[in-house]
Structure 1
Amino acid sequence: MSEKPHRKWMGHPLPDDVTSEMTLVELTWEKGKIEHWIRFGRHSYEHILSGSDRIVGFAPGSIFCFVRWAANGYGTIVSRIDILSAVGRGAPYQTLPFVRPGGELLLKIHGWPKVERVLQAIDAIEALAIDPADASPDYWRHLHNRLTVGEEAHPYTRPEHHAWLKRRRVL
């Protein structure tokens, strides 16, 4: 009888309840130095590695927002936000640092002024009593495209959300 090989993440063994279908994200929080966190999304797995590091896992199709910020003695050196859809086995994906295997990128923004605008858009969606993880992937792509070219994006609306929910049921 052969034993099941132990899967690892950054040298740490992963428990058996982590499926190969999950998209795993490494989160770090060292206040004022490096902050990698999930702004929204429903993780189905969590494993604490240390007081400042943990891994969360997302099921295929889950939409989540991953924020990365870092600073040194001179100020902010990294400020970025990515909104991804977790992918299933065999699906195409883009790779990102700290995300394994990767995900379908819906929004990829760097630089604090643009990151701040994405955070404001997320807040506006939540103000409508809509979980941003349930918002239309097309809206996140729209926001990405508009911010990338320096244009104003339209706000997400309840009618747009209801149309997305109906379309999702049909798909």
Structure 2
Amino acid sequence: MKVGIIVGSIREGRRGLGVGKWVLERASERREAEFELIDLKEFDVPLLTSRTLPSVANKQYGSENVRRWSAAIDACDAYIFVTPEYNHGLPGAFKNAVDTLGPEWTGKPVGFVSYGSVEGIRAAEQWRQVVVNFSMVDVRAQVSLSNFTEFADDGTPTPRPQREIDLKALLDQLLDAARRAAR
């Protein structure tokens, strides 16, 4: 089983990559699955302008960047979205990248690690409304980090101890959902 830990921010000075690496470090201690960090910024996914709906494109995309993104996402059995909250919502570049694909997401489990001024909770809740369109199973447990209390001055995550417990619960639920989906 392979779980993609997707860093959904592409901004300069972003905190998401550090959060993604923290999640990967903790998740890699588990033996039930392989975990891979997928950094959205590395794919440079263009704006979705294709006339063909991704859901019916049969994974045949016109952009090489989208084809690479598709292959990375399709190779996973489950996902952890590492998402910031921007302006009380989910980040536009990440939403565009998700919308650019279709069947790669269908029916796969997803969990959320969010961060922001109010711990990114609103972004995670908005993601739950989006992923249901792909028949994805979102797990209840989530990790939410405060920009004000859980990052060092240089942007390095400094999660409080409860976050380790939260992440364990998220991983337990996500891996269980992935096993059920594989049956």
Higher helix share: 2
Higher strand share: 1
- Ranked by relative contact order (alpha carbons within 8 Å, sequence separation 6 or more), the top structure is 2
